[in-house]
Amino acid sequence: MRFLVFGNYKIPAVLICENLWRIKKMIDNCEYEIVEKDYNGLLVKLAIVKDFDTLLDHYVEHEPDDTDMIPYYAALWSSAETLAKVLVSNRKLIAGKKVLELGAGLALPSVVCSMIDAKQVVASDFHPDNKHQVDRNAELNSVSIDYMQLDWTHPKNEKFDIIVGSDLLYEGKSVNILVKCVKNMLGDDGVFILTDPGRDHIQNAVDKFAEVGIKLELWIEDEILILSNYDLNIM
Protein backbone atom coordinates (compact mmCIF):
# COMPACT_ATOMS: atom_id res chain seq x y z
CA MET A 1 0.00 0.00 0.00
CA ARG A 2 1.28 3.47 -0.91
CA PHE A 3 1.37 6.14 1.80
CA LEU A 4 1.62 9.92 1.62
CA VAL A 5 3.50 11.69 4.43
CA PHE A 6 2.02 14.83 6.04
CA GLY A 7 4.24 16.06 8.87
CA ASN A 8 4.53 13.14 11.27
CA TYR A 9 1.59 11.27 9.77
CA LYS A 10 1.49 8.58 7.07
CA ILE A 11 -1.88 8.40 5.32
CA PRO A 12 -2.88 5.72 2.80
CA ALA A 13 -2.83 7.25 -0.67
CA VAL A 14 -6.17 5.66 -1.50
CA LEU A 15 -7.85 7.70 1.26
CA ILE A 16 -6.37 10.92 -0.11
CA CYS A 17 -7.59 10.07 -3.62
CA GLU A 18 -11.07 9.20 -2.35
CA ASN A 19 -11.31 12.50 -0.48
CA LEU A 20 -10.10 14.52 -3.49
CA TRP A 21 -12.69 12.77 -5.66
CA ARG A 22 -15.43 13.61 -3.12
CA ILE A 23 -14.39 17.27 -3.08
CA LYS A 24 -14.28 17.46 -6.89
CA LYS A 25 -17.74 15.89 -7.15
CA MET A 26 -19.10 18.31 -4.57
CA ILE A 27 -17.60 21.31 -6.41
CA ASP A 28 -18.85 20.10 -9.80
CA ASN A 29 -22.39 19.75 -8.43
CA CYS A 30 -22.49 23.28 -7.00
CA GLU A 31 -23.77 26.20 -9.02
CA TYR A 32 -22.08 29.55 -8.45
CA GLU A 33 -23.10 33.09 -9.16
CA ILE A 34 -20.60 35.88 -9.68
CA VAL A 35 -21.42 39.07 -7.80
CA GLU A 36 -19.57 42.38 -7.90
CA LYS A 37 -19.50 44.41 -4.70
CA ASP A 38 -18.33 47.95 -3.99
CA TYR A 39 -16.32 48.39 -0.79
CA ASN A 40 -15.57 52.08 -0.34
CA GLY A 41 -14.84 52.44 -4.04
CA LEU A 42 -13.01 49.14 -4.48
CA LEU A 43 -14.87 46.76 -6.80
CA VAL A 44 -14.50 43.08 -5.84
CA LYS A 45 -15.88 40.03 -7.63
CA LEU A 46 -16.97 37.00 -5.61
CA ALA A 47 -18.11 33.53 -6.59
CA ILE A 48 -20.89 32.51 -4.22
CA VAL A 49 -22.74 29.20 -4.07
CA LYS A 50 -26.26 29.73 -5.40
CA ASP A 51 -27.92 27.08 -3.24
CA PHE A 52 -26.33 26.82 0.20
CA ASP A 53 -28.82 24.13 1.26
CA THR A 54 -27.59 21.76 -1.47
CA LEU A 55 -24.02 22.18 -0.26
CA LEU A 56 -25.12 21.68 3.34
CA ASP A 57 -26.97 18.48 2.38
CA HIS A 58 -23.73 17.12 0.94
CA TYR A 59 -21.98 17.47 4.30
CA VAL A 60 -24.98 16.14 6.23
CA GLU A 61 -24.81 13.03 4.04
CA HIS A 62 -21.05 12.50 4.25
CA GLU A 63 -20.12 14.01 7.65
CA PRO A 64 -23.33 13.80 9.74
CA ASP A 65 -21.62 13.85 13.14
CA ASP A 66 -18.92 16.44 12.53
CA THR A 67 -20.09 20.02 13.14
CA ASP A 68 -16.66 21.30 12.07
CA MET A 69 -17.60 20.29 8.53
CA ILE A 70 -20.56 22.69 8.30
CA PRO A 71 -19.67 24.76 5.18
CA TYR A 72 -19.64 28.19 6.78
CA TYR A 73 -16.93 29.03 4.25
CA ALA A 74 -19.50 29.22 1.43
CA ALA A 75 -21.51 32.12 2.86
CA LEU A 76 -20.84 35.85 2.55
CA TRP A 77 -21.03 37.15 6.12
CA SER A 78 -21.82 40.77 7.00
CA SER A 79 -18.80 40.91 9.33
CA ALA A 80 -16.51 40.08 6.39
CA GLU A 81 -18.04 42.88 4.34
CA THR A 82 -17.51 45.38 7.16
CA LEU A 83 -13.93 44.17 7.50
CA ALA A 84 -13.44 44.70 3.76
CA LYS A 85 -14.56 48.32 4.12
CA VAL A 86 -12.27 48.85 7.10
CA LEU A 87 -9.30 47.49 5.17
CA VAL A 88 -9.95 49.76 2.18
CA SER A 89 -10.21 52.75 4.54
CA ASN A 90 -6.82 51.78 6.00
CA ARG A 91 -5.02 50.88 2.79
CA LYS A 92 -1.82 52.69 3.86
CA LEU A 93 -1.66 50.36 6.86
CA ILE A 94 -2.01 47.28 4.66
CA ALA A 95 0.29 48.29 1.78
CA GLY A 96 3.63 46.48 1.86
CA LYS A 97 2.64 44.25 4.80
CA LYS A 98 2.48 40.49 5.28
CA VAL A 99 -1.16 39.69 6.12
CA LEU A 100 -2.87 36.59 7.50
CA GLU A 101 -6.65 36.12 7.41
CA LEU A 102 -8.13 33.68 9.92
CA GLY A 103 -11.34 31.79 9.10
CA ALA A 104 -11.15 33.06 5.54
CA GLY A 105 -14.18 31.38 3.97
CA LEU A 106 -14.77 33.24 0.70
CA ALA A 107 -11.54 35.15 1.41
CA LEU A 108 -13.09 38.56 0.76
CA PRO A 109 -10.75 40.37 3.21
CA SER A 110 -7.76 38.51 1.72
CA VAL A 111 -8.76 39.57 -1.79
CA VAL A 112 -9.11 43.18 -0.62
CA CYS A 113 -5.69 43.14 1.09
CA SER A 114 -4.07 41.85 -2.08
CA MET A 115 -5.85 44.47 -4.19
CA ILE A 116 -4.61 47.30 -1.95
CA ASP A 117 -0.98 46.22 -2.28
CA ALA A 118 -0.21 44.00 0.69
CA LYS A 119 3.23 42.42 0.21
CA GLN A 120 1.90 38.90 0.87
CA VAL A 121 -1.54 37.61 1.78
CA VAL A 122 -2.24 34.23 3.34
CA ALA A 123 -5.85 33.09 3.67
CA SER A 124 -6.35 30.38 6.28
CA ASP A 125 -9.23 28.18 7.36
CA PHE A 126 -9.76 24.98 9.33
CA HIS A 127 -12.23 23.48 6.87
CA PRO A 128 -10.46 20.99 4.55
CA ASP A 129 -12.58 21.91 1.50
CA ASN A 130 -12.05 25.67 1.65
CA LYS A 131 -9.02 26.10 -0.60
CA HIS A 132 -10.96 25.88 -3.88
CA GLN A 133 -13.16 28.80 -2.78
CA VAL A 134 -10.14 30.97 -1.99
CA ASP A 135 -8.44 30.09 -5.29
CA ARG A 136 -11.63 30.82 -7.25
CA ASN A 137 -12.07 34.31 -5.79
CA ALA A 138 -8.37 35.15 -6.11
CA GLU A 139 -8.53 34.23 -9.81
CA LEU A 140 -11.69 36.28 -10.35
CA ASN A 141 -9.88 39.38 -9.10
CA SER A 142 -6.50 38.60 -10.69
CA VAL A 143 -4.69 38.63 -7.33
CA SER A 144 -2.24 36.30 -5.63
CA ILE A 145 -3.29 34.70 -2.33
CA ASP A 146 -1.51 31.86 -0.56
CA TYR A 147 -3.58 29.31 1.32
CA MET A 148 -2.94 27.70 4.70
CA GLN A 149 -5.11 25.06 6.37
CA LEU A 150 -4.82 26.16 9.98
CA ASP A 151 -5.90 24.61 13.27
CA TRP A 152 -5.80 27.38 15.88
CA THR A 153 -4.79 24.88 18.55
CA HIS A 154 -1.54 24.36 16.61
CA PRO A 155 -0.35 27.80 15.42
CA LYS A 156 2.25 27.81 12.68
CA ASN A 157 5.80 28.97 13.30
CA GLU A 158 5.36 31.99 11.06
CA LYS A 159 4.93 35.68 11.90
CA PHE A 160 2.70 38.26 10.24
CA ASP A 161 2.59 42.06 10.32
CA ILE A 162 -1.21 42.06 10.32
CA ILE A 163 -3.78 39.41 11.25
CA VAL A 164 -7.44 39.93 10.35
CA GLY A 165 -10.61 37.94 10.87
CA SER A 166 -14.39 38.25 10.79
CA ASP A 167 -17.05 36.52 12.92
CA LEU A 168 -14.58 34.13 14.54
CA LEU A 169 -16.27 33.86 17.95
CA TYR A 170 -19.55 32.06 17.28
CA GLU A 171 -18.50 29.37 19.78
CA GLY A 172 -17.27 30.05 23.32
CA LYS A 173 -14.58 27.36 23.01
CA SER A 174 -12.98 29.41 20.25
CA VAL A 175 -11.90 32.29 22.50
CA ASN A 176 -8.82 30.83 24.19
CA ILE A 177 -7.48 29.08 21.11
CA LEU A 178 -7.99 32.20 18.95
CA VAL A 179 -6.06 34.31 21.47
CA LYS A 180 -3.26 31.72 21.54
CA CYS A 181 -3.09 31.58 17.76
CA VAL A 182 -3.00 35.36 17.27
CA LYS A 183 -0.45 35.85 20.04
CA ASN A 184 1.84 33.23 18.50
CA MET A 185 1.57 34.34 14.87
CA LEU A 186 1.45 38.14 15.24
CA GLY A 187 4.83 39.81 14.80
CA ASP A 188 6.32 42.43 17.11
CA ASP A 189 4.24 45.63 16.94
CA GLY A 190 1.79 43.71 14.75
CA VAL A 191 -1.81 44.76 14.14
CA PHE A 192 -4.86 42.59 14.82
CA ILE A 193 -8.27 43.52 13.36
CA LEU A 194 -11.46 41.61 14.17
CA THR A 195 -15.05 42.28 13.14
CA ASP A 196 -17.94 40.64 14.96
CA PRO A 197 -21.76 40.84 14.80
CA GLY A 198 -22.01 41.00 18.61
CA ARG A 199 -21.56 37.40 19.71
CA ASP A 200 -21.96 36.59 23.40
CA HIS A 201 -18.26 35.81 23.79
CA ILE A 202 -16.85 39.11 22.58
CA GLN A 203 -16.18 40.67 26.02
CA ASN A 204 -14.45 37.51 27.18
CA ALA A 205 -12.28 37.67 24.07
CA VAL A 206 -11.36 41.33 24.70
CA ASP A 207 -10.34 40.43 28.26
CA LYS A 208 -8.29 37.42 27.17
CA PHE A 209 -6.48 39.41 24.49
CA ALA A 210 -5.64 42.09 27.07
CA GLU A 211 -4.11 39.41 29.30
CA VAL A 212 -1.56 38.59 26.59
CA GLY A 213 -0.78 42.24 25.84
CA ILE A 214 -3.11 42.81 22.88
CA LYS A 215 -5.38 45.65 23.99
CA LEU A 216 -8.33 46.09 21.66
CA GLU A 217 -10.24 49.31 21.01
CA LEU A 218 -13.87 49.14 19.86
CA TRP A 219 -15.82 50.84 17.08
CA ILE A 220 -19.30 50.10 15.69
CA GLU A 221 -20.23 50.40 12.02
CA ASP A 222 -23.32 49.00 10.28
CA GLU A 223 -24.21 47.27 13.58
CA ILE A 224 -20.94 45.31 13.38
CA LEU A 225 -18.29 45.56 16.10
CA ILE A 226 -14.77 46.44 14.94
CA LEU A 227 -11.92 45.66 17.31
CA SER A 228 -8.23 46.39 16.90
CA ASN A 229 -5.05 47.24 18.78
CA TYR A 230 -4.45 49.96 16.15
CA ASP A 231 -6.08 53.37 15.81
CA LEU A 232 -8.05 52.60 12.67
CA ASN A 233 -9.66 55.00 10.26
CA ILE A 234 -13.30 53.86 10.34
CA MET A 235 -14.97 54.48 6.95
Query: Long-range contacts made by residues 45-50, C-beta under 8 angstroms, separation at least 24?
Result: 45/137, 45/140, 45/141, 46/76, 46/106, 46/108, 46/111, 46/137, 46/140, 47/106, 47/133, 47/136, 47/137, 47/140, 48/74, 48/75, 48/76, 48/106, 49/74
What pLDDT is recorded for position 15? 42
- Is 233's pLDDT higher than 60? yes
Residue 47 identity (one-letter amino acid) = A
What pLDDT is recorded for position 4? 40
**Contact yes or no for 202/169 (Cβ under 8 A):** yes
Q: Which of 126, 110, 130 shows the shortest CA–CA distance to 193?
A: 110
Cα–Cα distance between 23 and 105 in angstroms, integer?
16
Q: How far is CA 219 from CA 30, 106, 179, in A?
A: 37, 24, 20
Looking only at the bridges linking them, the beta strands covering 9-12 and 3-6 are antiparallel
Cα–Cα distance between 72 and 66 in angstroms, integer?
13
The C-alpha angle with vertex 224 and arms to 43 and 131, in degrees rounded to 5, equals 55
Q: What pTM value is reported for the model?
A: 0.83
What pLDDT is recorded for position 55? 58
Domain spans, the chain: 1-29, 78-228
Lowest mean pLDDT among 22-26, 66-70, 172-176, 202-206: 22-26
Mean pLDDT of the region 101-107: 95
**Contact yes or no for 1/12 (Cβ under 8 A):** yes
- Enumerate residues 6+ apart whose C-beta is below 8 A from 154: none
Q: How far is CA 211 from CA 45, 176, 189, 195, in A?
A: 39, 11, 16, 20
48 confidence band (pLDDT: 50, 70, 90): confident
Q: Quick: pLDDT tens for 156-182.
A: 999 999 999 999 998 888 999 999 999
Q: Which of 128, 35, 120 shows the shortest CA–CA distance to 75?
A: 35
What pLDDT is recorded for position 159? 98
Q: Quick: pLDDT tens for 183-192.
A: 999 999 999 9
The CATH code of domain 78-228 reads 3.40.50.150
Cα–Cα distance between 208 and 99 in angstroms, integer?
22
